[in-house]
Amino acid sequence: KQEVTQIPAALSVPEGENLVLNCSFTDSAIYNLQWFRQDPGKGLTSLLLIQSSQREQTSGRLNASLDKSSGRSTLYIAASQPGDSATYLCARIATVDSNYQLIWGAGTKLIIKP
């Protein structure tokens, strides 16, 4: 069974700290991996998509890395701000019978304290 695990489930840090969110997956034959942000009462917003041929992607203060050999991805947030408070989910992109699907982790709830 394909599984995606995110650790920790919740994280609270003071504003300004750099932090790392972790995502691990059981199937090493990964295609692509994607990080999303979810704000309360809202849908999911894509942050970064790492293709299987890539090792990392960067957008502003966010950097996502992908290590297929260890089955892990990390999301690095630099100089955290209260506006970064949200739930962060990673999803492995799979092709199931030629259908493009996402296999989700349960998310890490991040709170940035002012």
Partner 1 sequence: EAGVAQSPRYKIIEKRQSVAFWCNPISGHATLYWYQQILGQGPKLLIQFQNNGVVDDSQLPKDRFSAERLKGVDSTLKIQPAKLEDSAVYLCASLAAGQGAKTQYFGPGTRLLVL
Closest by Cα among 96, 111, 101, 99 to 40: 111
Measure the CA–CA gap between 48 and 70, rounded to whole angstroms: 20
Which of 51/74 has CB closer to partner 1?
Answer: 51
DSSP 26: S
Distance of closest approach, residue 15 Cβ to partner 1, in angstroms: 25
**Nearest-approach distance from CB 106 to partner 1, in angstroms:** 5
CB of 43 or CB of 83, closer to partner 1? 43
Binding site for partner 1 (CB under 8 A): 4, 9, 32, 34, 41-46, 49, 51, 89, 91, 96-97, 99-102, 104-107
C-beta of 103: minimal distance to partner 1 in Å?
Answer: 9
d(CA 71, CA 12): 25
Cβ distance to partner 1 smaller for residue 3 or 17: 3
Tell me which amino acid residue 59 is.
Answer: S
Q: Measured from the CB atom, is 32 or 73 closer to partner 1?
A: 32
Rounded to whole angstroms, the Cα distance separating 106 from 32 reads 18
- φ and ψ at residue 54, rounded to 5 degrees: -105, 160
